[in-house]
Structure 1
Amino acid sequence: MTTTLSDFVKAYDVRGLVPQQLNIDVAHALGAAFAEVVALEEGASAVVIGHDMRPSSPELVDALARGITARGVDAILIGLASTDGLYYASGALGLPGAMFTASHNPARYNGIKFCRPGARPVGQESGLAQIRDLAQAHLDAGVSAFDGVRPGTVFRRDVLADYAAFLRGLVDLSGCRPLRVTVDAGNGMGGLTVPAVLGTDSGLPGLPLTIDPMYFELDGTFPNHEANPLDPANLVDLQERVRSHGADIGIAFDGDADRCFVVDEHGDPVSPSAITAMIASREIAREVAAGRAPGDVAIVHNAITSAAVPQIIAEAGARPVRTRVGHSYVKADMSEHDAVFGGEHSAHYYFRDFWFADTGMLAAMHVLAALGESDAPLSEVMAPYERYVASGEINSTVADAAAVTEVVRARHATEGTSVDELDGLTVTLPGADGAPQWWFNLRPSNTEPLLRLNVEAADEATMARVRDDVLTTIREA
Structure 2
Amino acid sequence: MTPELAARLVKAYDIRGLSPQELDEAAAHRIGAAFARLTGAPEIAVARDMRDTSPALAAAFARGVREQGAAVVDAGLGSTDYLYYVSGRLGVPGAMFTASHNPAGYNGIKLCRAGAVPVGEGTGLEVLRAALTEPAPAPAGRPGGSREVALLADYAAHLHGLVDLSGLRPLKVVVDAGNGMAGLTVPLVLNQPELTVVPMYFELDGSFPHHEADPMKPENVAALKERVRAEGADLGLAFDGDADRCFAVDERGEAVPASSVVALVAKRLLAREPGAAVVHNLITSRGSVEQIEEAGGKPVRSRVGHSFVKALMAEHQAVFGGEHSGHYYFRDFWFADTGLLAALHIIAELSSTEGPLSRLVDGLKRYEASGEVNVRTPDPAAAVAAVERALGDAAAQLDHLDGLTASFADGSWFNVRPSNTEPVLRLNAEAGDAATLAALRERVLAAIAQA
TM beyond 0.5: yes
Alignment partner, residue 88 of structure 1: 85
One-letter identity of the residue aligned with 1:81: G
Gaps of 5+ in 1: 200-205, 289-293
Task: Report if aligned partners of 1:32, 1:135 keep a CA contact under 8 Å in 2.
Answer: no
Q: CA–CA distance in 1 between the matches of 2:280 and 2:8?
A: 30
Paired position in structure 2 for 1:229: 215
Amino acid at match of 1:379: S
Please, which of 161, 175, 179 is the counterpart of residue 187 of structure 1? Answer: 179
Aligned partner (choices 142, 145, 152) of residue 139 of structure 2: 145
> Quick one: distance in 2 between partners of 1:461 and 1:31?
53
Cα distance between partner residues in 1 of 2:330 and 2:186 = 19
Residue-by-residue CA offset, 1:120-162 (whole Å, 9 max, x unaligned): 000011111012212331xxx245333x2x2101211111001
1:475 aligns with 2:449: yes
**Partner residue of 1:112?**
109
Mapped to 2, the partners of 1:2 and 1:179 lie a distance apart of: 54
Any residues of structure 2 matched to 1:3-402 within 5 Å, and which?
4-38=5-39, 40=40, 44-137=41-134, 141-146=135-140, 148=141, 150-199=142-191, 206-288=192-274, 294=275, 297-402=276-381
Quick one: which amino acid aligns to residue 286 of structure 1?
R
- Partners of 1:122 and 1:128 within 8 A in 2: yes
Alpha-carbon displacement from aligned partner over 1:190-225 (angstroms, at most 9, x marks no partner): 0000001112xxxxxx43100000000000000000
Matching residue within 388, 392, 395 for 1:416: 395
How far apart, CA to CA, are the structure 2 residues paired with 1:314 and 1:165? 32
SS of corresponding position for 1:107: coil
Distance in 1, matches of 2:33 and 2:203, equals 33
Farther off after superposition, 397-406 or 378-387 = 397-406
Paired residue secondary structure (1:250): strand
Which residue of 2 is the match for residue 202 of structure 1?
none
Residue among 418, 433, 437 paired with 1:463 = 437
| Structure 1: distance between partners of 2:13 and 2:111 | 9
After superposition, the C-alpha distances for 1:372-402 in whole angstroms (9 at most, x for unaligned) are 1111100111122111111111111122222
Partner of 1:203 in structure 2? none
Residues 399, 406 of structure 2: 8 Å contact kept = yes
Instruction: Give the SS at the match of 1:11.
Output: coil
Q: Compute the TM-score of the two structures, normalised by the length of structure 2.
A: 0.98
Instruction: Please name the residue that 2:424 is paired with.
Output: 450
CA contact (8 A) 2:416 2:427 kept: yes
Change (3 A) 1:313 1:145: same
Aligned residues: 450
Following superposition, the deviation at residue 45 of structure 1 comes to 1.2
TM normalised by structure 1 equals 0.93
Mapped contact 1:29–1:136 kept (Cα < 8 A)? no
State the Cα distance separating 1:35 from its structure 2 match.
0.2
Structure 1 stretch 128-137 or stretch 26-35: which is displaced more? 128-137
Aligned mates of 2:378, 2:234 — CA distance in 1: 46
Inter-partner Cα distance in structure 2 for 1:233 and 1:90: 34
What is the CA–CA distance in structure 2 between the aligned matches of 1:164 and 1:243, rounded to whole Å?
Answer: 29
User: What secondary structure, in the 3-state scheme, does the structure 1 residue paired with 2:133 have?
Assistant: helix
Q: Is the 8 A contact 1:301 1:309 kept in 2?
A: no
- Matched residue SS, 1:170: coil
Q: Distance in 1 between matches of 2:227 and 2:331?
A: 34
| Residue 2 (structure 1) shift | 4.8
The one-letter code of the counterpart of 2:243 is A
Indicate the SS of the match to 1:223. coil
Alpha-carbon deviation of 1:318? 1.5
**Residues 151-189 of structure 1: CA distance to partner in whole angstroms, max 9, x if unpaired?**
101211111001000000001223110100000000000
- Amino acid in the other structure paired with 1:444: P
Distance in structure 1 (CA, Å) of the matches to 2:75 and 2:67: 19
Whole-angstrom CA distance in 2 between matches of 1:18 and 1:168: 36
Distance in 2, matches of 1:123 and 1:177, equals 42
Work out whether residues 2 and 133 of structure 2, in 8 Å CA contact, stay in contact via their aligned partners in 1.
no
CA contact (8 A) 1:173 1:207 kept: no
CA deviation map 1:79-122 (0-9, x unaligned): 11000000000000000000000000000000000000000000
Distance 1:354 1:81 in 2: 16
Aligned mates of 2:314, 2:65 — CA distance in 1: 28
Identity %: 56
Contact 1:174 1:207 (C-alpha < 8 Å) held by counterparts: no
